[in-house]
Amino acid sequence: MLAETPAGEVASIPCPPHPVFDTSRFAHKECMENGSWFVDPESLTEWANYSECINQETHMYEPDYGPIHAFVGGYALSIVMLLAATAIMCSFRQLRCERNALHKHLFVSFILNGICWILYFLVAVTNGHVLITNPIWCQFLHCICNYFAVCNFFWMFCEGFYLHTLIVSAFHTGKLFMACCILGWGAPFLLIVIYCVIRATDDGHTEHCWSGNSVYVWIIYGPVITSLLANFAFLINIIRVIIRKLRDFDAPNTSQTRKAVRATIILVPLLGLQYLLLPFRPSEDSGFQETYAYLSALVTSLQGALVALIYCFLNGEVISVIKRRWQQINLMEGRSVRLQGALVWPPTSMTYMESHTADKKDYGVSKSRHTEDFGEGALELEKLNGDVTADKTSSHRC
């Protein structure tokens, strides 16, 4: 915010945090003789001179949008993969259970979070005019982005809490999933309301679409960091229980280590523990800030793609269900083609009566006639239908 400036003088303000600007420089705003700020005659809004924010000597007028492009590209890839994964999870009744329901909520939080941040980067962060004018919709978009970001972290915590409860405590009730829904979508809403109300009342922290650093972000960071630390504790305890159970079955040490490492690798992206590898941003003069920016962009934006890959596209249960459905479709199509081929030949009265009589005689003894007509595919289809029927009885258990 600008301090009170006498009429007829020029006030200086720090340049906003934008890739085009050097934040160590200052912009200027002119106070007119009548005590009001200079108004641009074209836009009819207060105008400030930000031309000196561009350091011509260091070529800072060429913004480095590389990390932002990495964010947008990674989020776009994650959204596409998560949409496909969510569609698969919703399409098969055999995959409908509480565990996969948690995965679907996590997928949706990833999708909404990615869409909001792509919009924020494209319409606000890379648009100097929007940052300077600081419209209300831009501030609201900042709040929405942070809401879905917190939802995303809280659903990671719900995944860890649910898995830890089932494996370690062997406790399970229908209320556990409902508690996760309230925590995943409701608790972040309360946090964001508190954050937005407090920050909006402090004029010193409401400029530039709220893109600058503010002490109030710890209202969000505190619970998020706590959830990550809790997930880390869950992971350690889950691995401990897995190793103990492997020892109870006298599994070799090599097998124990391999399975423990595999479980750790699978759970790290689900629980968001990769963020613990990038806890602090390096200083600007360290030489690692650019590397950190790209690494942080990739780790953050591609997490959704990795989760969709591990828990849907490479999931053995999902692959088995899709294969079974594909085989069923192929067998049904093959049976239909054979039936249509049989109806092409108009049978004579004699041959039709003979084959019809033979069918009647053989039908009560065995299914040999059925097998001759349709081949082994018919028997395989019967097995497949039996498998599908069996799966229907246990479709809510997985």
Residues of each domain in the chain carrying CATH 1.20.1070.10: 66-314
Does 346 score more than 80 pLDDT? no
Supply angle C-alpha 149, 151, 154, rounded to 5. 115
**Tokens 């920016």, located at residue:** 293
pLDDT bin (cut points 50, 70, 90) of residue 195 is very high
Q: Answer yes or no: are the C-beta atoms of 241 and 168 closer than 8 Å.
A: yes
Q: Which residues does residue 29 pair with via DSSP β-bridges, in sequence order?
A: 11
pLDDT of 2: 53
Q: Which residues does residue 46 pair with via DSSP β-bridges, in sequence order?
A: 39
For residue 103, the one-letter residue type is H
pLDDT of 109: 96
**Tokens 């995959």, located at residue:** 95
pLDDT of 395: 40
pLDDT of 272: 85
Q: Which residues does residue 39 pair with via DSSP β-bridges, in sequence order?
A: 46
pLDDT bin (cut points 50, 70, 90) of residue 148 is very high
Q: Which of 174-178, 200-204, 238-242, 249-253 has the lowest mean pLDDT?
A: 249-253
> How many CB atoms sit inside 10 A of residue 103's CB?
23
pLDDT bin (cut points 50, 70, 90) of residue 256 is low
Structure-block tokens of residue 398: 């997985």
Q: Which of 26-35, 82-91, 142-151 has the lowest mean pLDDT?
A: 26-35
What pLDDT, in 10s, does the model give residues 20-58?
Answer: 667 778 887 888 888 787 777 766 667 777 767 766 554
Q: Answer yes or no: are the C-beta atoms of 31 and 9 closer than 8 Å.
A: yes
Q: Using CB atoms within 10 A of its CB, is residue 74 exposed (0-12), middle (13-18) or buried (19+)? A: buried
**Tokens 């011509």, located at residue:** 56
CA–CA dist 393, 9 (Å, integer): 80
CA–CA dist 398, 390 (Å, integer): 13
Structure-block tokens of residue 269: 């992206």
What pLDDT, in 10s, does the model give residues 293-307?
Answer: 888 888 889 999 999
- Identify which has the larger pLDDT, 342 or 241: 241
Does 175 score more than 90 pLDDT? no
What size, in residues, is the chain? 398
What pLDDT, in 10s, does the model give residues 117-141?
Answer: 999 988 887 777 777 778 889 889 9
CATH of domain 66-314: 1.20.1070.10
User: Which residues neighbour 247 within 8 Å (Cβ) at sequence distance 6 or greater?
Assistant: 256
Mapping DSSP onto H, E and C, the string for the chain reads CCCCCCCCCEEEEECCCCCCCCCCCEEEEEECCCCCECECCCCCCECCECHHHCCCCCCCCCCCCHHHHHHHHHHHHHHHHHHHHHHHHHHCHHHCCHHHHHHHHHHHHHHHHHHHHHHHHHHHHCCHHHHHHCCHHHHHHHHHHHHHHHHHHHHHHHHHHHHHHHHHHCCCCCHHHHHHHHHHHHHHHHHHHHHHHHHHCCHHHCCHHHCCCCHHHHHHHHHHHHHHHHHHHHHHHHHHHHHHHHHHCCCCHHHHHHHHHHHHHHHHHHHCHHHHHCCCCCCCCCCCHHHHHHHHHHHHHCHHHHHHHHHHHCCHHHHHHHHHHHHHHHHHHHHHHHHHHHHHCCCCHHHHHHHHHHHHHHHCCCCHHHHHHHCHHHHHHHHHHHHHHHHHHCCCCC
Structure-block tokens of residue 277: 């590898």
Does 366 score more than 50 pLDDT? no
pLDDT of 26: 82
pLDDT of 380: 36
Q: Answer yes or no: are the C-beta atoms of 381 and 327 closer than 8 Å.
A: no
Taking the complete model, does pTM exceed 0.85, yes or no?
A: no
Residues of each domain in the chain carrying CATH 4.10.1240.10: 1-63
Which among 56, 152, 51 has a CA at the least distance from the CA of 106? 152
Record: fold of 1-63: Hormone receptor fold (4.10.1240)
φ and ψ at residue 11, rounded to 5 degrees: -95, 150
pLDDT bin (cut points 50, 70, 90) of residue 187 is very high
Residue 209 gets the label, from left (phi > 0), alpha (psi -120 to 50) or beta, of left
